[in-house]
Homo-oligomer: A and B are copies of this chain.
Amino acid sequence: MEITKESISEWLKQLQDSICLSLEAEDELGKFKEDTWTRPEGGGGRSRVIENGNVIEKGGVMFSAVSGKTPDFLVKEKEHSLPAQGSATESTFFATGVSIVIHPKSPMVPIIHMNIRYFEMSNGTKWLGGGIDLTPHYIVDEDASFFHQRLKEVCDKHHFSYYSQFKTWADDYFYITHRKETRGIGGIFFDRLNHNEHLNFEENFAFWQDVGKAFAPIYVSLMNKHKSDAFNDQQKQWQLLRRGRYVEFNLVYDKGTKFGLETNGRVESILMSLPATAGWLYNFQVAEGSEEQKTLLKLKKGQNWIHE
């Protein structure tokens, strides 16, 4: 297809459809409910949320395509780095993407997040961004290896340097500085991809599409593997605390969340990422030698998940 903003939006909507169908099939109970919304300044979105499923407690697969006057901070940035093309105050932008966060009921099934986004400005600047990261309540080495191996395959298909580069970026991005913990086992993260020394825009676009397509098979496989695992109250309590950390990351650090809240975005779509329940205990300490401690000790940057 020719890569236009219209064709990208259309492709993202189809991706949203196909992901929702895959998740519903594996959940076997929950059904996505759809809301469409419009943004006064231009564009809108199609939100799909599932609550109280068999496997998924709360999850969203959100499509949006919005446009309007380019936010000041982006206009200023471009004025410093590029020759002026028309008056800055006339600049308009278009942004489209799919964002997913799934909080499962069971503490044995990991939380997952995926986002792919496309941005362009009226001056011709455009870029791609995205990422997938996994937040297991309990880290299972075999799953971590599988998850990163799958992402590495997606990256390797396009450029041998991408996995290493974007895995490091995810380690840095999904980091809860005040806790000195990564949010989970990371994954890949990239932003402002256009053409680079490795690939042209069309080639990077193909990579970006493959990231989007990789989500459903990876997560369905993890849902399937763990959805019937037994768990007890103590593990459920640990899940609440891990979800608390997820809330801390999203409200304190996540750039998409902050940007959305500061620019008067649709609050219910932005905060779809927050779990149905979360918890905080004062000065909670994991027991020596426990599974909780083993997980906590692995929430560090720079882990080589594939070769463990």
User: Out of B35, B178, B276, B282, which one reaches A281, CB within 8 Å?
Assistant: B276
Chain A 264-308: CB-based contact to B (< 8 A → 1; otherwise 0):
100110111011111111110000000000000000000000000
User: Out of B35, B58, B251, B283, which one reaches A248, CB within 8 Å?
Assistant: B251
Whether the pair A282, B268 counts as a contact (CB closer than 8 A) is yes
User: Out of B35, B271, B279, which one reaches A280, CB within 8 Å?
Assistant: B271
User: Out of B51, B261, B279, B283, which one reaches A282, CB within 8 Å?
Assistant: B51
Whether the pair B282, A49 counts as a contact (CB closer than 8 A) is yes
Are A282 and B278 also in contact (CB < 8 A) when A251-B247, A251-B248, A252-B251 are? no
Q: A240 vs B35: C-alpha distance in the bound complex, in angstroms?
A: 24
Whether the pair A281, B247 counts as a contact (CB closer than 8 A) is no
Closest to A260 in B: B178
Whether the pair A178, B261 counts as a contact (CB closer than 8 A) is yes
Interface size bracket, A side = 20 to 34
User: Out of B177, B178, B240, B252, which one reaches A277, CB within 8 Å?
Assistant: B240
Identify 20 new A-B residue pairs, CB closer than 8 A, beyond the known A276-B280, A278-B280: A49-B282, A58-B281, A60-B282, A177-B261, A178-B261, A178-B270, A179-B267, A244-B274, A247-B247, A247-B251, A247-B278, A248-B251, A248-B271, A251-B251, A251-B252, A252-B261, A274-B280, A276-B279, A277-B278, A278-B278
A-side residues, CB < 8 A to B, are 35, 49, 51, 58, 60, 177-179, 240, 244, 247-248, 251-252, 261, 264, 267-268, 270-272, 274-283
30 contacts between A and B (CB under 8 A): A35-B283, A49-B282, A51-B281, A58-B281, A58-B282, A60-B282, A178-B261, A178-B267, A240-B277, A244-B274, A247-B247, A247-B251, A247-B278, A248-B251, A248-B271, A251-B251, A251-B252, A252-B252, A268-B282, A268-B283, A271-B280, A275-B280, A276-B279, A276-B280, A277-B277, A277-B278, A277-B279, A278-B278, A278-B279, A278-B280
